[in-house]
Amino acid sequence: MRRDLLPTDAVAAGGTPEAADTGAGTSGAIGDDPGAGRQRLRFYQVGSFAVGNRLADPSQRTVQSDATRSNSLDSGHRACQGCGEALGARYALDAAMRAAGGQLVAVNATGCLEVFSTPYPETSWRIAWLHSLFANAPAVATGVAAAMRVKGRSDVRVVAQAGDGGTVDIGFGCLSGMFERNDDVLFICYDNEAYMNTGVQRSGATPSAARTATTEAIGPDPGAPFGQGKDLPRLAMAHGIPYVATATVADLHDLEDKIERATLMRGARYVHVLVPCPLGWGTASADTIAVARLATQTGLFPVYEAKNGSVTSVSKIRRVQPVEAYLGMQKRFAHLFGTPGRPDIVARIQAIADDSIARFGLLDSHAGEPAERGAR
Protein backbone atom coordinates (compact mmCIF):
# COMPACT_ATOMS: atom_id res chain seq x y z
CA MET A 1 0.00 0.00 0.00
CA ARG A 2 1.25 3.47 -0.85
CA ARG A 3 2.04 5.38 2.24
CA ASP A 4 0.29 8.51 1.06
CA LEU A 5 -2.99 6.62 0.83
CA LEU A 6 -2.97 5.79 4.53
CA PRO A 7 -5.59 7.43 6.74
CA THR A 8 -4.86 10.84 8.17
CA ASP A 9 -3.27 11.26 11.53
CA ALA A 10 -5.18 14.41 12.28
CA VAL A 11 -7.19 12.81 15.02
CA ALA A 12 -4.08 11.35 16.50
CA ALA A 13 -2.48 14.77 16.44
CA GLY A 14 -5.13 16.37 18.58
CA GLY A 15 -8.66 15.21 17.87
CA THR A 16 -10.17 18.43 16.54
CA PRO A 17 -9.25 20.65 13.61
CA GLU A 18 -8.55 23.59 15.93
CA ALA A 19 -6.14 21.52 17.98
CA ALA A 20 -4.34 20.43 14.84
CA ASP A 21 -3.11 23.96 14.41
CA THR A 22 -0.64 23.85 17.25
CA GLY A 23 0.98 20.66 16.20
CA ALA A 24 2.11 21.31 12.70
CA GLY A 25 0.99 24.58 11.28
CA THR A 26 2.38 28.00 10.61
CA SER A 27 3.81 30.37 13.11
CA GLY A 28 2.46 33.87 13.30
CA ALA A 29 -0.80 33.12 11.50
CA ILE A 30 -2.61 36.32 10.61
CA GLY A 31 -5.80 36.09 12.58
CA ASP A 32 -7.72 39.00 11.13
CA ASP A 33 -7.30 38.00 7.51
CA PRO A 34 -10.01 36.37 5.44
CA GLY A 35 -9.42 32.66 5.11
CA ALA A 36 -7.35 32.53 8.25
CA GLY A 37 -9.69 29.89 9.67
CA ARG A 38 -8.88 27.49 6.91
CA GLN A 39 -5.23 28.35 7.14
CA ARG A 40 -5.23 27.01 10.71
CA LEU A 41 -6.13 23.55 9.44
CA ARG A 42 -3.16 21.23 9.26
CA PHE A 43 -3.98 17.61 8.55
CA TYR A 44 -0.95 15.52 7.83
CA GLN A 45 -1.33 12.06 6.47
CA VAL A 46 0.84 9.45 8.05
CA GLY A 47 4.24 9.32 6.46
CA SER A 48 3.56 11.52 3.49
CA PHE A 49 2.66 14.81 5.23
CA ALA A 50 -0.23 15.20 2.76
CA VAL A 51 -2.84 17.72 3.82
CA GLY A 52 -6.27 16.16 4.22
CA ASN A 53 -9.69 17.63 3.99
CA ARG A 54 -12.23 15.02 4.96
CA LEU A 55 -12.38 15.62 8.69
CA ALA A 56 -12.80 19.35 8.40
CA ASP A 57 -16.03 21.19 8.80
CA PRO A 58 -17.43 21.84 5.30
CA SER A 59 -16.96 25.57 5.72
CA GLN A 60 -13.27 24.99 6.27
CA ARG A 61 -12.68 22.69 3.36
CA THR A 62 -10.75 23.65 0.28
CA VAL A 63 -12.22 25.50 -2.65
CA GLN A 64 -11.32 22.48 -4.77
CA SER A 65 -13.56 20.26 -2.66
CA ASP A 66 -16.48 22.62 -3.21
CA ALA A 67 -18.97 21.29 -5.75
CA THR A 68 -19.76 24.86 -6.77
CA ARG A 69 -16.15 25.81 -7.52
CA SER A 70 -15.79 27.74 -10.74
CA ASN A 71 -13.54 25.26 -12.62
CA SER A 72 -11.74 28.28 -14.00
CA LEU A 73 -9.37 26.05 -15.95
CA ASP A 74 -11.67 23.33 -17.16
CA SER A 75 -10.84 19.79 -18.19
CA GLY A 76 -9.91 18.96 -21.76
CA HIS A 77 -6.79 21.10 -21.96
CA ARG A 78 -3.53 19.77 -23.42
CA ALA A 79 -1.27 19.82 -20.39
CA CYS A 80 1.01 16.82 -19.81
CA GLN A 81 0.03 14.15 -17.34
CA GLY A 82 0.96 15.26 -13.86
CA CYS A 83 1.46 18.91 -14.88
CA GLY A 84 2.05 20.99 -11.77
CA GLU A 85 1.25 24.23 -13.55
CA ALA A 86 -2.21 23.03 -14.60
CA LEU A 87 -2.90 22.09 -11.00
CA GLY A 88 -1.49 25.33 -9.66
CA ALA A 89 -3.46 27.48 -12.07
CA ARG A 90 -6.69 25.66 -11.38
CA TYR A 91 -6.20 25.84 -7.62
CA ALA A 92 -5.19 29.47 -7.70
CA LEU A 93 -7.84 30.78 -10.04
CA ASP A 94 -10.68 28.85 -8.44
CA ALA A 95 -9.62 30.32 -5.10
CA ALA A 96 -9.36 33.80 -6.62
CA MET A 97 -12.76 33.38 -8.25
CA ARG A 98 -14.34 32.42 -4.94
CA ALA A 99 -12.71 35.33 -3.14
CA ALA A 100 -13.74 37.78 -5.86
CA GLY A 101 -17.29 36.48 -6.03
CA GLY A 102 -16.72 35.57 -9.67
CA GLN A 103 -15.74 39.13 -10.58
CA LEU A 104 -12.34 38.32 -12.03
CA VAL A 105 -10.32 39.02 -15.15
CA ALA A 106 -7.14 37.02 -15.83
CA VAL A 107 -4.22 38.04 -18.01
CA ASN A 108 -1.88 35.29 -19.15
CA ALA A 109 1.69 35.48 -20.41
CA THR A 110 2.80 33.27 -23.27
CA GLY A 111 4.00 29.87 -22.10
CA CYS A 112 2.84 26.34 -21.39
CA LEU A 113 -0.28 27.48 -19.55
CA GLU A 114 -1.37 29.67 -22.44
CA VAL A 115 -0.52 27.11 -25.11
CA PHE A 116 -2.16 24.08 -23.52
CA SER A 117 -5.28 25.96 -22.47
CA THR A 118 -6.22 27.75 -25.69
CA PRO A 119 -5.48 25.81 -28.86
CA TYR A 120 -7.66 27.55 -31.46
CA PRO A 121 -10.65 27.25 -31.63
CA GLU A 122 -10.94 25.80 -28.15
CA THR A 123 -10.44 27.23 -24.70
CA SER A 124 -10.33 25.69 -21.25
CA TRP A 125 -10.97 29.01 -19.52
CA ARG A 126 -14.33 29.63 -17.94
CA ILE A 127 -13.27 33.08 -16.85
CA ALA A 128 -12.60 36.32 -18.72
CA TRP A 129 -9.09 35.69 -20.02
CA LEU A 130 -6.62 37.61 -22.16
CA HIS A 131 -3.31 36.53 -23.60
CA SER A 132 -1.17 39.21 -25.20
CA LEU A 133 2.58 38.47 -25.18
CA PHE A 134 5.31 36.69 -23.26
CA ALA A 135 6.86 39.65 -21.50
CA ASN A 136 3.98 41.99 -20.90
CA ALA A 137 1.38 40.25 -18.69
CA PRO A 138 2.01 42.60 -15.72
CA ALA A 139 1.56 45.70 -17.89
CA VAL A 140 -1.50 44.32 -19.67
CA ALA A 141 -3.00 43.59 -16.27
CA THR A 142 -2.22 47.16 -15.23
CA GLY A 143 -4.19 48.29 -18.26
CA VAL A 144 -7.13 46.06 -17.39
CA ALA A 145 -7.08 47.30 -13.80
CA ALA A 146 -6.97 50.90 -15.01
CA ALA A 147 -9.94 50.26 -17.27
CA MET A 148 -11.89 48.71 -14.41
CA ARG A 149 -11.08 51.66 -12.15
CA VAL A 150 -12.11 54.25 -14.71
CA LYS A 151 -15.31 52.31 -15.40
CA GLY A 152 -16.16 52.21 -11.71
CA ARG A 153 -15.86 48.43 -11.55
CA SER A 154 -14.08 48.27 -8.22
CA ASP A 155 -15.64 44.85 -7.67
CA VAL A 156 -13.58 43.28 -10.44
CA ARG A 157 -10.22 41.82 -9.41
CA VAL A 158 -7.39 41.46 -11.89
CA VAL A 159 -5.01 38.51 -11.89
CA ALA A 160 -1.95 38.14 -14.10
CA GLN A 161 -0.18 34.84 -14.41
CA ALA A 162 3.03 33.62 -15.98
CA GLY A 163 5.60 30.89 -15.75
CA ASP A 164 9.03 31.51 -14.30
CA GLY A 165 10.42 32.67 -17.65
CA GLY A 166 7.63 35.20 -18.08
CA THR A 167 8.17 36.35 -14.51
CA VAL A 168 11.83 36.35 -13.54
CA ASP A 169 13.37 36.77 -17.00
CA ILE A 170 11.61 38.33 -19.96
CA GLY A 171 8.69 39.76 -17.99
CA PHE A 172 10.69 41.18 -15.11
CA GLY A 173 10.85 44.73 -16.42
CA CYS A 174 7.08 44.98 -16.68
CA LEU A 175 6.63 43.14 -13.38
CA SER A 176 8.96 45.45 -11.52
CA GLY A 177 7.17 48.45 -13.00
CA MET A 178 3.80 47.08 -11.95
CA PHE A 179 5.14 46.45 -8.43
CA GLU A 180 6.76 49.84 -8.15
CA ARG A 181 3.56 51.65 -9.15
CA ASN A 182 1.64 49.42 -6.73
CA ASP A 183 -0.92 48.72 -9.46
CA ASP A 184 -4.01 46.84 -8.36
CA VAL A 185 -2.96 43.46 -9.74
CA LEU A 186 -2.42 40.03 -8.22
CA PHE A 187 0.48 38.46 -10.10
CA ILE A 188 0.89 34.70 -9.82
CA CYS A 189 4.08 32.99 -10.97
CA TYR A 190 3.88 29.27 -11.64
CA ASP A 191 7.51 28.36 -11.21
CA ASN A 192 8.64 25.10 -12.80
CA GLU A 193 12.23 26.30 -12.90
CA ALA A 194 12.93 26.33 -16.65
CA TYR A 195 11.48 27.06 -20.10
CA MET A 196 9.43 23.89 -20.38
CA ASN A 197 7.20 24.97 -23.28
CA THR A 198 10.17 25.34 -25.62
CA GLY A 199 11.84 22.11 -24.49
CA VAL A 200 13.40 22.60 -21.05
CA GLN A 201 15.94 25.41 -21.39
CA ARG A 202 17.49 27.20 -18.43
CA SER A 203 15.72 30.22 -16.95
CA GLY A 204 16.72 32.62 -14.21
CA ALA A 205 14.75 30.35 -11.86
CA THR A 206 16.61 27.14 -12.74
CA PRO A 207 18.33 25.74 -9.66
CA SER A 208 22.06 25.14 -9.55
CA ALA A 209 23.24 21.83 -11.02
CA ALA A 210 19.91 21.12 -12.73
CA ARG A 211 20.24 19.68 -16.18
CA THR A 212 18.36 21.59 -18.86
CA ALA A 213 18.71 21.55 -22.65
CA THR A 214 20.99 24.60 -22.39
CA THR A 215 22.81 23.51 -19.23
CA GLU A 216 23.61 19.94 -20.08
CA ALA A 217 24.99 17.56 -17.48
CA ILE A 218 28.38 17.48 -19.18
CA GLY A 219 31.88 18.42 -18.09
CA PRO A 220 33.35 19.26 -14.72
CA ASP A 221 30.48 21.57 -13.72
CA PRO A 222 27.39 19.75 -14.97
CA GLY A 223 23.99 21.42 -15.10
CA ALA A 224 23.08 25.01 -14.27
CA PRO A 225 25.88 27.08 -12.73
CA PHE A 226 26.06 27.93 -9.05
CA GLY A 227 25.90 31.55 -8.06
CA GLN A 228 23.24 32.47 -10.61
CA GLY A 229 19.48 32.79 -10.56
CA LYS A 230 16.90 35.21 -9.25
CA ASP A 231 14.96 34.94 -6.00
CA LEU A 232 11.82 36.63 -7.24
CA PRO A 233 9.79 36.58 -4.00
CA ARG A 234 12.56 38.46 -2.22
CA LEU A 235 12.88 40.87 -5.13
CA ALA A 236 9.13 41.41 -4.91
CA MET A 237 9.49 42.11 -1.19
CA ALA A 238 12.20 44.64 -1.95
CA HIS A 239 9.59 46.64 -3.87
CA GLY A 240 7.70 47.01 -0.58
CA ILE A 241 4.45 45.83 -2.11
CA PRO A 242 1.54 44.98 0.21
CA TYR A 243 1.70 41.22 -0.15
CA VAL A 244 4.17 38.55 -1.23
CA ALA A 245 3.76 34.85 -0.64
CA THR A 246 5.24 31.57 -1.74
CA ALA A 247 3.30 28.33 -1.98
CA THR A 248 3.37 24.95 -3.67
CA VAL A 249 0.84 22.63 -5.21
CA ALA A 250 1.60 20.23 -2.36
CA ASP A 251 -0.33 22.25 0.21
CA LEU A 252 -3.72 23.09 -1.21
CA HIS A 253 -5.06 24.72 1.97
CA ASP A 254 -2.07 27.03 2.15
CA LEU A 255 -2.12 27.89 -1.56
CA GLU A 256 -5.83 28.63 -1.64
CA ASP A 257 -5.63 30.61 1.55
CA LYS A 258 -2.86 32.82 0.25
CA ILE A 259 -4.58 33.37 -3.09
CA GLU A 260 -7.86 34.28 -1.40
CA ARG A 261 -6.11 36.62 0.97
CA ALA A 262 -4.17 38.23 -1.88
CA THR A 263 -7.24 38.52 -4.08
CA LEU A 264 -9.07 40.58 -1.50
CA MET A 265 -6.19 42.97 -0.92
CA ARG A 266 -5.50 46.09 -3.01
CA GLY A 267 -2.33 47.16 -4.72
CA ALA A 268 0.38 44.95 -6.17
CA ARG A 269 0.37 41.41 -4.79
CA TYR A 270 2.69 38.57 -5.74
CA VAL A 271 2.26 34.85 -5.16
CA HIS A 272 5.04 32.52 -6.27
CA VAL A 273 3.85 28.94 -6.66
CA LEU A 274 6.25 26.04 -7.11
CA VAL A 275 4.79 23.73 -9.76
CA PRO A 276 6.84 20.63 -10.61
CA CYS A 277 7.09 19.69 -14.28
CA PRO A 278 7.30 15.91 -14.86
CA LEU A 279 8.75 16.49 -18.33
CA GLY A 280 11.43 18.97 -17.37
CA TRP A 281 12.29 17.61 -13.96
CA GLY A 282 12.23 13.98 -15.01
CA THR A 283 9.80 12.88 -12.36
CA ALA A 284 6.97 10.38 -12.54
CA SER A 285 3.60 11.99 -13.29
CA ALA A 286 2.26 10.60 -10.04
CA ASP A 287 5.00 12.29 -8.00
CA THR A 288 4.18 15.95 -8.73
CA ILE A 289 2.77 16.58 -5.26
CA ALA A 290 5.39 14.46 -3.50
CA VAL A 291 8.30 16.24 -5.14
CA ALA A 292 6.78 19.67 -4.49
CA ARG A 293 6.39 18.75 -0.83
CA LEU A 294 10.00 17.60 -0.66
CA ALA A 295 11.09 20.93 -2.08
CA THR A 296 9.58 22.53 1.02
CA GLN A 297 10.64 19.86 3.51
CA THR A 298 14.29 20.10 2.46
CA GLY A 299 14.20 23.87 2.87
CA LEU A 300 15.10 24.45 -0.77
CA PHE A 301 11.74 26.14 -1.38
CA PRO A 302 10.79 28.20 1.68
CA VAL A 303 7.06 28.80 2.08
CA TYR A 304 6.25 32.15 3.63
CA GLU A 305 4.25 35.32 3.53
CA ALA A 306 5.44 38.91 3.59
CA LYS A 307 3.62 42.18 3.98
CA ASN A 308 5.03 45.54 2.95
CA GLY A 309 8.46 44.04 2.51
CA SER A 310 8.75 42.06 5.76
CA VAL A 311 8.18 38.37 6.32
CA THR A 312 5.11 37.90 8.51
CA SER A 313 4.81 34.12 8.65
CA VAL A 314 6.63 31.02 7.52
CA SER A 315 5.41 27.45 7.07
CA LYS A 316 7.59 25.42 9.36
CA ILE A 317 9.18 22.24 8.10
CA ARG A 318 7.54 19.41 9.98
CA ARG A 319 10.27 16.83 9.47
CA VAL A 320 13.27 18.12 7.62
CA GLN A 321 14.57 16.03 4.75
CA PRO A 322 18.04 15.78 3.22
CA VAL A 323 18.31 17.29 -0.25
CA GLU A 324 19.18 13.86 -1.64
CA ALA A 325 15.56 12.82 -1.04
CA TYR A 326 14.39 15.65 -3.28
CA LEU A 327 17.14 15.58 -5.90
CA GLY A 328 17.17 11.82 -6.19
CA MET A 329 13.60 11.73 -7.48
CA GLN A 330 14.46 13.89 -10.48
CA LYS A 331 16.29 12.93 -13.65
CA ARG A 332 17.51 16.53 -14.04
CA PHE A 333 19.79 15.82 -11.07
CA ALA A 334 20.60 12.20 -12.01
CA HIS A 335 24.20 13.12 -12.81
CA LEU A 336 24.77 13.86 -9.13
CA PHE A 337 24.10 10.30 -8.06
CA GLY A 338 25.36 6.80 -8.85
CA THR A 339 29.00 5.88 -9.09
CA PRO A 340 30.99 7.95 -8.60
CA GLY A 341 28.29 10.62 -8.38
CA ARG A 342 28.99 14.17 -7.28
CA PRO A 343 28.66 14.29 -3.52
CA ASP A 344 30.53 17.61 -3.59
CA ILE A 345 27.74 19.19 -5.62
CA VAL A 346 25.05 17.61 -3.46
CA ALA A 347 26.82 19.12 -0.44
CA ARG A 348 26.70 22.57 -2.06
CA ILE A 349 22.96 22.17 -2.63
CA GLN A 350 22.54 21.03 0.97
CA ALA A 351 24.32 24.19 2.05
CA ILE A 352 21.84 26.24 0.03
CA ALA A 353 18.97 24.42 1.76
CA ASP A 354 20.56 24.99 5.17
CA ASP A 355 20.97 28.70 4.42
CA SER A 356 17.33 28.92 3.42
CA ILE A 357 16.24 27.15 6.60
CA ALA A 358 18.31 29.55 8.68
CA ARG A 359 17.27 32.67 6.76
CA PHE A 360 13.55 32.04 7.10
CA GLY A 361 13.60 30.14 10.40
CA LEU A 362 11.90 27.16 8.82
CA LEU A 363 12.50 24.83 11.78
CA ASP A 364 10.74 24.95 15.14
CA SER A 365 13.21 24.48 17.94
CA HIS A 366 11.61 21.15 18.83
CA ALA A 367 11.75 19.98 15.22
CA GLY A 368 15.47 19.62 15.44
CA GLU A 369 18.44 21.18 13.76
CA PRO A 370 19.30 20.38 10.16
CA ALA A 371 21.81 17.85 11.45
CA GLU A 372 18.97 15.84 13.01
CA ARG A 373 17.30 15.46 9.65
CA GLY A 374 15.16 12.35 9.77
CA ALA A 375 14.85 9.63 7.21
CA ARG A 376 11.91 9.90 4.89
* Largest pairwise CA distance in the chain: 65
Q: CA 200, 206, 208, 213: dihedral to nearest 10 degrees?
A: 20
For residues 303 and 233, what is the distance between their CA atoms, to the nearest angstrom? Answer: 10
Considering only the stretches 104-112, 266-274, 291-299, 339-347, report the one whose residues sit in contact with other proteins under the rule CB under 8 A.
Answer: 104-112
Interface residue with other proteins, options 90, 131, 318, 373 (CB under 8 A) = 131
Residue 5 has what DSSP assignment? G
119 binds other proteins (CB under 8 A): yes
How far is CA 142 from its chain centroid? 23
108 binds other proteins (CB under 8 A): yes
How do strand 186-191 and strand 269-274 relate by DSSP bridges? parallel
Considering only the stretches 113-121, 207-215, 232-240, 249-257, report the one whose residues sit in contact with other proteins under the rule CB under 8 A.
Answer: 113-121
- Nearest Cα to 144, choosing from 180, 103, 112? 103
174 binds other proteins (CB under 8 A): yes
141 binds other proteins (CB under 8 A): yes
Between 118 and 208, name the residue whose CB sits nearer to other proteins.
118
Interface residue with other proteins, options 89, 93, 148, 300 (CB under 8 A) = 148
Interface residue with other proteins, options 23, 37, 143, 242 (CB under 8 A) = 143
Interface residue with other proteins, options 26, 39, 62, 136 (CB under 8 A) = 136
User: If you count them, how many residues does the chain have?
Assistant: 376
Residue 195 has what DSSP assignment? B
CB 225 within 8 A of CB 210: no
Between 106 and 314, name the residue whose CB sits nearer to other proteins.
106
The residues binding other proteins (CB under 8 A) are 102-105, 107-108, 114-115, 118-123, 125-133, 135-136, 139-151, 156, 173-174, 176-177, 180-181
